[in-house]
Structure 1
Amino acid sequence: MTYSIQQLAQIAGVSPRTLRYYDQISLLPAQRNPVNGYRTYPDSAVDQLQLIRYFQAFGFSLAQIQALLAQSPTEQTVALTTQRTQLANRRDRLTTLLNTLDRTLAARNGGPQMTDTEKFAVFKQQLMQNEQEFGEESRQRYGQEKVTASQKKFAGLSETNYQAMQAMEAKLMTTLKEVATTGDLASDAAREVYDLHRQWLCFTWNNYSAEAHRGLAQMYLDDDRFAQYYNDRVGLDNATETLVAIIQRYAR
C-alpha cells in the first residue's frame, strides 16, 4: 500500500511538516507521484518511521537515529532489545519505589510502621540495579570477583554509612560544578573533588588503587551513559570531562 504524506502523518501521530523535514535530511526519504510530484510512502516507510519513533522515545538524536537506520536489521534488533531491557529495569525500579512509597504513606496515616532498614532498602536496590545496567564494563575491566565483592560491600552498608555515602555524593556534585564552571584543575576545589570521589568509591571498593581509579575515569570517557549521569547531576555538559581530567591529574 502507498500512503500520502497526510495519511502517514495521521497514522504515525506526527505532522506533515515533520515528514517533509525527514525527507529533506534523508532520514525518511519519500517517493514522488509521477503525475503531480506529491510525496508518497511505501509500506517499508511505515516500518522505518516506527523505528524512528521508537528511538526518539528512547532519547536518541536524529543523527544517532540516522546511523542506526544505516545498520543491518540484526543490529537494529539488538539495539531495540537493549532498550527494552533498560525500559523493563526502569519499570521494575518505579514499581518498587511506588510500593515503598505506598507503605510510607500508609505508615504516616497510622498504618503498619516500617523498620529503618526497610525505609532505605528501595534506594539501595535502585543503586544495585543501576550497577547491573552499567556493570558489564566493570566486570570486563576488573573481573567478576571484584565486582561481586563491591556489590556485597554496598549491600551490607549500615544506614549511617549509606547516608554518609549519599551526602558525600551530593557534596561531590556541588564541588564538581564549581570546578567545571571555572575550569581550574589546580584549585583546592579540584583537589577536593578528587578526594571526595575517592572516598565515595571506598564505600563500595574493598581495595582502592590509583590505577583502578584512572581506569574508571577512562570508562567514563568511553561510555556516553556515564557522561550523561554526571552531566545531568551537575547540570553542565562538561562535568564528566572535568571529573575525568581531575582524576587523571591527582590519582597517582
Structure 2
Amino acid sequence: MAAMAYNIQQLADLAGISSRTLRYYDQIGLLIADRNPINGYREYAADAVDRLQLIRYFQTFGFSLQAIQALLAESPANQLTALTDQRRRLAAKRDHLTTLLNTLDRTLAAQQGGPQMSDSEKFAAFKRDQIATNDREYGAESRRRYGKTTFAASQQRYASLSESDYQAMQATEQQLFTQLKQVTTTGDLDSPAAKAAYQAHRDWLCFTWNNYSTAAHRGLAQLYLDDARFTAYYNDRVGHPNAAKTLVAIINHYAQ
C-alpha cells in the first residue's frame, strides 16, 4: 500500500502550523514540496513529513531556520547526534525541575508545620542545578583542557561545599563583580580594585579547585577569551562589554 501524500492544508493541520509557513519553507528550500502532475498543487510524501518533524523539533530547541537548513544538509549520523544532545539537555532540565519541585514541596510543608529541612538541604537543589549547568555548558571544553579527573573533582568539591562555604563562594563572586566593574571603568590594573578583583577571583576558584596554580589561572583566563559563553557571563553580570577582557588582563597582570 502506497504511503499517504498530504496536500499543503492537510500537512499544515497535522503539524499545527499554517499553510503559509509551508509555502515559505518550500520557497527557501527548507521543505520542498512535490507537485501534483494534474493540478500542480503542492503535495508532501512520507519523507517530507519526517523532515518536517525534525524541523519542528529543532525549532522547539531554539535553532534558527538557517541553522536547521544547514543541519538537515548533514549526514543522518550528525542529525542523530544533534537530537541526542538535545535529549540530554531536556533530560537535565527535567531533572532540575523535578529537584526544584521536590525542594519547594518540602519548603512549603515545613512552613505549614511539617518536617523541617536542614540548612544543607535548603541549598542542595541550587548546588545540583549549578553542577548540571556547568556540565551542560562548559563540561566538554573543561574536560578537554584540564582532563576528566580534574573536572570531576572540581564538580564533586562544589557539591560537597558546606552551607557556610556555599554562601561565602556566592559572596566572593559578587565582590569580584563589584571590583571588576570599577576596574573596567578606570582601566587601572595597578589599582587596589584590580588587586582586590584578582584576589576575589582566585579565592572564588579555590572553593572548587583542589590545586591552585598561577599557570592554571592564566590558562582559565585564556579560556575566557576563547569561549564566547565565558565572555558573555562576565560582561552580562558586570554590565560592561569589556568586563571579561578586563578580568583577563587583571589575571595575567597578577598571576605571575
- TM-score under structure 2 normalisation? 0.80
Aligned to 1:111: 114
Q: Percent identity?
A: 57
Q: Cα–Cα, structure 1 residues 12 and 232, in superposed 2: closer, same or farther, change >3 Å?
A: farther
Contact 1:213 1:247 in 2 (8 A): no
1:64 and 1:119 mapped to 2: Cα distance? 41
2:231 is aligned with 1:213: no
1:129 and 1:118 mapped to 2: Cα distance? 17
Residue type of the partner of 2:187? A
Unaligned runs of 5+ in 1: none
Q: Cα–Cα, structure 1 residues 228 and 187, in superposed 2: closer, same or farther, change >3 Å?
A: closer
1:58 and 1:232 mapped to 2: Cα distance? 25
1:34 and 1:228 mapped to 2: Cα distance? 55
Aligned to 1:204: 208
2:149 is aligned with 1:145: yes
1:80 and 1:60 mapped to 2: Cα distance? 12
Q: Is the radius of gyration larger for structure 1 or structure 2?
A: 2
Q: Cα–Cα, structure 1 residues 149 and 45, in superposed 2: closer, same or farther, change >3 Å?
A: same
| Local SS of the residue matching 1:251 | helix
1:199 and 1:109 mapped to 2: Cα distance? 39
Contact 1:174 1:234 in 2 (8 A): no
**Alpha-carbon offset, residue 203 of structure 1:** 1.8
**Alpha-carbon offset, residue 232 of structure 1:** 9.8
2:52 and 2:202 mapped to 1: Cα distance? 46
| Local SS of the residue matching 1:59 | coil
Contact 1:211 1:251 in 2 (8 A): no
The more displaced of 49-58 and 146-155 is: 146-155
1:184 and 1:40 mapped to 2: Cα distance? 60
2:32 is aligned with 1:47: no
1:174 and 1:20 mapped to 2: Cα distance? 52
Q: CA RMSD for the aligned pairs?
A: 3.2
**Alpha-carbon offset, residue 111 of structure 1:** 0.5
1:174 and 1:53 mapped to 2: Cα distance? 43
Aligned to 2:59: 56
1:80 and 1:67 mapped to 2: Cα distance? 14
Residue type of the partner of 2:142? S
1:32 and 1:211 mapped to 2: Cα distance? 63
2:147 and 2:117 mapped to 1: Cα distance? 37
2:198 and 2:42 mapped to 1: Cα distance? 57
Aligned to 2:81: 78
**Alpha-carbon offset, residue 168 of structure 1:** 3.6
2:225 is aligned with 1:248: no
**Alpha-carbon offset, residue 183 of structure 1:** 7.3
Unaligned runs of 5+ in 2: none
| Local SS of the residue matching 1:208 | coil
Contact 1:194 1:246 in 2 (8 A): no
Q: Cα–Cα, structure 1 residues 173 and 8, in superposed 2: closer, same or farther, change >3 Å?
A: farther
Contact 2:31 2:48 in 1 (8 A): yes
The number of residue pairs the alignment matches comes to: 245
